[in-house]
């Protein structure tokens, strides 16, 4: 408890911690009012469930078991089609996980990963896994077999510039039966929220399969690493609006010897607002739905 108090005090001293309340609007000013709980995967293999309204409150914690020998987990998401929790190891092995018991079950054979940090998220429109790494790798995986469904274009900014380091990605409209979606990511090299491809209704249409990135805006935080990003909410009928969604990232900062934080991210501007400190080094975050 003393350590928690020290961490919170340090974040408050930095002037970045927003005290969340059940009635407060998300920092992204989202019109999506349901605050789903958050799953956070630590580099130590511990999966924790955080209260959606008060992320400091951890409701359940379990260590994941059943991994391949010497494998370590590097990414996580929840499958919109059935609510199953998926994780991936540094070996490229995909697993499903029982979020209560922590028991992992292998899915197929390992995929070949290039990089040390991984972003993992389900495309809800086709029920396939998008996997990106800090080296620019851009893959699609089949969730039932673990097989690589496609090797897509390397991540790169459409207008040129430096090499991106995107290892945290999230699709909008992550619900079963979705017919439209947009893919966002966090570039930890430039502390920037990016779009991978175009948003629904935009012209020209740019597929995320091309790997083309478009900057949205700066986070306003010094991010050393971003290894977890997810977006909650279902698309209403009509024009695409970023503020229909709530986006949360798990980041490691330059604060207090690499303090890790949960942050709300405004999909309109990229601006981040701190929700809570994390007492683990995160490698994945996902809304429970």
The predicted-structure confidence for 39-76, as pLDDT tens digits, reads as follows: 999 999 999 999 999 999 999 999 999 999 999 999 99
Q: What is the pTM of this model?
A: 0.89
Q: What is the 8-class DSSP label of residue 235? A: P
Q: In whole angstroms, what is the distance from residue 92 CA to residue 75 CA?
A: 10
Q: In whole angstroms, what is the distance from residue 93 CA to residue 47 CA?
A: 18
How confident is the model at residue 13, as a pLDDT?
41
Task: Label residue 20 by pLDDT band (50, 70, 90).
Answer: very low
Q: What is the 8-class DSSP label of residue 68? A: P
For the record, the structure tokens of 263 come out as: 């942050």
How confident is the model at residue 34, as a pLDDT?
54
Q: Mean per-residue pLDDT for 246-267?
A: 92
Q: In whole angstroms, what is the distance from residue 146 CA to residue 150 CA?
A: 12
Q: In whole angstroms, what is the distance from residue 31 CA to residue 189 CA?
A: 30
Domain boundaries, the chain: 2-287
Closest CA to 211 of 166, 274, 243, 250: 166
Task: Label residue 230 by pLDDT band (50, 70, 90).
Answer: very high
Task: Label residue 30 by pLDDT band (50, 70, 90).
Answer: very low
How confident is the model at residue 238, as a pLDDT?
85
Q: In whole angstroms, what is the distance from residue 86 CA to residue 88 CA?
A: 7
Task: Label residue 28 by pLDDT band (50, 70, 90).
Answer: very low
Strand partners, 286: 39
pLDDT at 15 over 50: no
Helices vs. strands in the chain: H and E counts, helices first: 1, 21
CATH 2.120.10 is right for the domain spanning 2-287: yes
Dihedral sign for Cα 145, 151, 152, 155, please.
positive
Q: In Å, how far are 7, 259, 273 from 13, measured between CA atoms?
A: 10, 13, 15
pLDDT digits (tens, 9 = 90+) for 92-113: 999 999 999 999 999 999 999 9
Q: In whole angstroms, what is the distance from residue 12 CA to residue 26 CA?
A: 19
Q: Which strand (E) or helix (H) includes residue 220?
A: none
The per-residue pLDDT of the chain, averaged, comes to 90
Task: Label residue 35 by pLDDT band (50, 70, 90).
Answer: confident
Tally Cβ neighbours within 10 Å of residue 2: 6
Strand partners, 74: none
DSSP, residue by residue, 91-140: TS-EEEE-TTT-BEEEESSPP---SS-EEEEEETTTTEEEEEETT--EEE
Task: Label residue 289 by pLDDT band (50, 70, 90).
Answer: confident
């Amino acid at each position: 408890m003393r350590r928690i108090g020290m961490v919170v005090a340090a974040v408050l001293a930095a002037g970045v911690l927003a005290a969340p309340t059940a009635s407060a609007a998300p920092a992204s000013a989202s019109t999506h009012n349901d605050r789903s709980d958050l799953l956070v995967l630590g580099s130590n293999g511990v999966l924790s469930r955080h209260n959606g309204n008060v992320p400091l409150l951890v409701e359940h914690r379990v260590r994941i078991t059943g991994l391949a020998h010497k494998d370590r987990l590097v990414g996580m998401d929840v499958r919109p089609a059935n609510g199953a929790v998926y994780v991936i190891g540094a070996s490229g092995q995909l697993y499903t996980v029982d979020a209560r018991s922590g028991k992992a079950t292998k899915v197929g054979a390992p995929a070949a990963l290039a990089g040390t940090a991984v972003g993992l998220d389900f495309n809800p429109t086709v029920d396939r896994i998008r996997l990106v790494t800090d080296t620019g790798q851009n893959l699609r995986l089949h969730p039932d077999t673990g097989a690589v469904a496609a090797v897509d274009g390397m991540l790169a900014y459409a207008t040129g510039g430096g090499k991106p380091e995107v290892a945290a990605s999230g699709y909008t409209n992550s619900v079963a039966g979705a017919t439209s979606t947009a893919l966002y990511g966090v570039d930890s090299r430039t502390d920037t929220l990016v779009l991978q491809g175009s948003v629904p209704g935009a012209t020209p249409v740019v597929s995320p399969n091309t790997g083309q990135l478009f900057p949205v805006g700066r986070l306003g935080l010094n991010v050393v690493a971003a290894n977890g990003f997810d977006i909650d909410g279902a698309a209403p009928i009509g024009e695409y609006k970023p503020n229909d969604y709530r986006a949360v990232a798990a980041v490691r900062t330059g604060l207090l010897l690499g303090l890790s934080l949960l942050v709300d991210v405004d999909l309109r501007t990229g601006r981040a607002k701190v929700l809570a400190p994390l007492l683990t080094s995160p490698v994945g975050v996902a809304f429970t739905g």
